[in-house]
Structure 1
């Protein structure tokens, strides 16, 4: 198979063609034509890699022949070198305005001709490879649905592909827009984080990576994974151009939220479960130590809950637990935690109780008393009127020398003390511990 680059030489002077043939035959596959129309026919049948075109020819001159080549879709990007004895500026400008790659001045300097041909072929090959690579990347991006962005700092404009617009439900008028438009689309809660990560990337050489929400044209927000990096900088190191892409990760975020909810929340009551309670208790200890405050933990057990299940069925028991959870939420502040450990066992954790110890336990006792009164109110479980009461154990905790197990055990012991005292009451563990 012939791997030599194919060159089409068009010249009406046989001597010139002979000279070219002798000079180029060893390195290139040379085809010759004696006129512009003949060259066009040959090029259509077998597109060359490069065209050497004489400027001064009878009938159709080199300028018109060049225009004809550029009008052919299959030949429009084929590099053309003008071969001419003319060296005036006007002729060169005319040729360059038509898109010719270079000029070769007669008489030929063979080695210079070869060097220019090699250079032009190399540039052409690299250009074709780049175009193929860009087309491949564009195809992949479109196939995966990723939105591409290209931020030119010189004019503060961001350019996009169609997928970027589709992700956000925008029309094609948003293929180019000011960078401030992007910032305005970011969810207010995410904006500071995006600006921080983006600023770090612009200041250094790292990769920009952020997961945040962008406002869809319909008004809701779409979660995206946004990635990019600076690809051009000025002579002084300032960022000049940044490119990247976004992918819609809304479904992934929804699945993550579902998994998180199953891992940290009780399915029946939607309250935090034991795992989340332990994490919040650990965090509360750290805050207590930092702020020199106290927290309180209450264990609650619904009296004779098993009797309700045995007499009226588990569905009624579930209805009672759901109502208890709702009432407990209404007894505490937003910063406090109500959790369900399982069965009919609930935990209330109060935070930010100011000292001294007597004041902190006094405030916790007030909340405990409020819970007793609230859970003593009559219940209606479907068509069943029902009365139920809690037994509550209360303990205070700080942030020093107090283990999680120790806190939970004290509250549990106090709760069983309340049951032993006749139920429907509150008992406290030693507040000095």
Structure 2
């Protein structure tokens, strides 16, 4: 059949060089890395190099690329800043980006993926693995372009279109807007758990699968695509036939309009990104929460405290910081072992959480140090100080009770430093935590199991 023959020719052209080479922009401030990338990719791709974010921006202003490989840590513009500026350029469009960097911590990877990068690969990298990932991305983009071309050509048969749609490995639907009829491929059915042999549905049915919390967002994006010719690029949840929801990434555009500009036909690719979303959630948990106690960590505390200081600077309200250090924790660790010490810290976190309101924050800074941030207090600063002191006394009483940790019963008590804050000039996150730490140390020096309030 001609459709199979044509599809085979597409693959043959890609493998033999009959088609134009895909263009890749490699951006890195290390010449050796750029040389390695050119050697690795030069036979199969048209590779352009840039040594800075500014050079990359100028390159994309001049021409389009099929893929951008971008270092994160560069002098001047970082890779993250470069990507954000590239996304504003007409030539960038939806160009896939791979971050290739030595900054391989979870927070940076989460941030990079959140900016829209397709992949995040740590240095030193395995050349074979990098090449495989690049080939997969470029092949997918190439087939999507062929799909768009096929859709715009009425001479192409629907059967050939179906083969191309399946070749992407992604869900695809082709929407005839006026009739509300939607033709889909089997991959789309697999994503939502429907019969793979039923390849036509209505748009009304497709919308009924969208999570209620996401429906308005998706509807606005579709309207913008139909009415203003904006490309569709959105992530949302859809209901699987088994009842659970899966995360999908949709990319599409109007491929046919009538003489008066009305949208006639729209095509969209649908990719299951549930695993990526799980990974992002896990990265966020690791980046912002203490893995032992599940409490916010230093990073998240600093972020919340900074936002609160800025708010109080505008509104004139006040809050309190309680810096808590567990007395003789090292003795518990040394006597009963680290497992028991960890159990004690988990119990401390639980008791602290029980002493405060949901609007407040308990964070573990590390070791046996915790911080409680009290917010949404009264306007009167002295009344707030009295309330904060009562909470501190409640914490003293709660944390001073014996700890039943499996077969072990042990004791520990807190030393607490209390500092009030209201966002006045000169108050910073660092100064507040440092001051609270200082008065906590004074409480510990005075005999432990006590509270010291800053003047």
For the aligned pair, the TM-score class normalised by the smaller chain equals 0.5 to 0.7
- Secondary structure in 2 matching 1:237: coil
Separation of aligned partners in 1, 2:337 and 2:399: 21
TM-score by length of 2: 0.62
1:381 is aligned, of 394, 400, 405, to: 405
Q: Does the alignment pair 1:339 with 2:363?
A: yes
2:281 is aligned, of 235, 257, 260, to: 257
CA contact (8 A) 1:288 1:352 kept: no
Return 5+ residue gaps in structure 2 as ranges.
Answer: 1-152
Aligned residue pairs total: 302
Name the counterpart of 1:138: 165
2:305 is aligned, of 259, 273, 281, to: 281
CA distance change for structure 1 residues 172 and 238 in 2, over 3 Å: closer, same or farther? same
Offset at residue 130 of structure 1 (A): 6.2
Offset at residue 225 of structure 1 (A): 0.7
- Secondary structure in 2 matching 1:390: strand
Q: Deviations over 1:340-374 (max 9, x none)?
A: 11110011112222312112222222222222222
Name the counterpart of 1:410: 435
Q: Deviations over 1:95-145 (max 9, x none)?
A: xxxxxxxxxxxxxxxxxxxxxxxxxxxxxxx7766669635522422xx2x
Separation of aligned partners in 1, 2:272 and 2:237: 10
Offset at residue 223 of structure 1 (A): 1.0
In our comparison, the structure showing a higher alpha carbon Rg is 1
Separation of aligned partners in 1, 2:355 and 2:181: 53
- Secondary structure in 1 matching 2:375: strand
2:449 is aligned, of 424, 427, 430, to: 424
- Secondary structure in 2 matching 1:353: coil
Q: Deviations over 1:17-43 (max 9, x none)?
A: xxxxxxxxxxxxxxxxxxxxxxxxxxx
1:165 is aligned, of 189, 205, 223, to: 189
- Secondary structure in 2 matching 1:243: strand
Name the counterpart of 1:89: none
Name the counterpart of 1:151: 175
Return 5+ residue gaps in structure 1 as ranges.
Answer: 1-125
Runs of 4+ in 1 over 6 A off after TM superposition: 130-133
Q: Deviations over 1:203-223 (max 9, x none)?
A: 312211111111111111111
Separation of aligned partners in 2, 1:174 and 1:364: 63
CA distance change for structure 1 residues 260 and 329 in 2, over 3 Å: closer, same or farther? same
Offset at residue 233 of structure 1 (A): 3.1
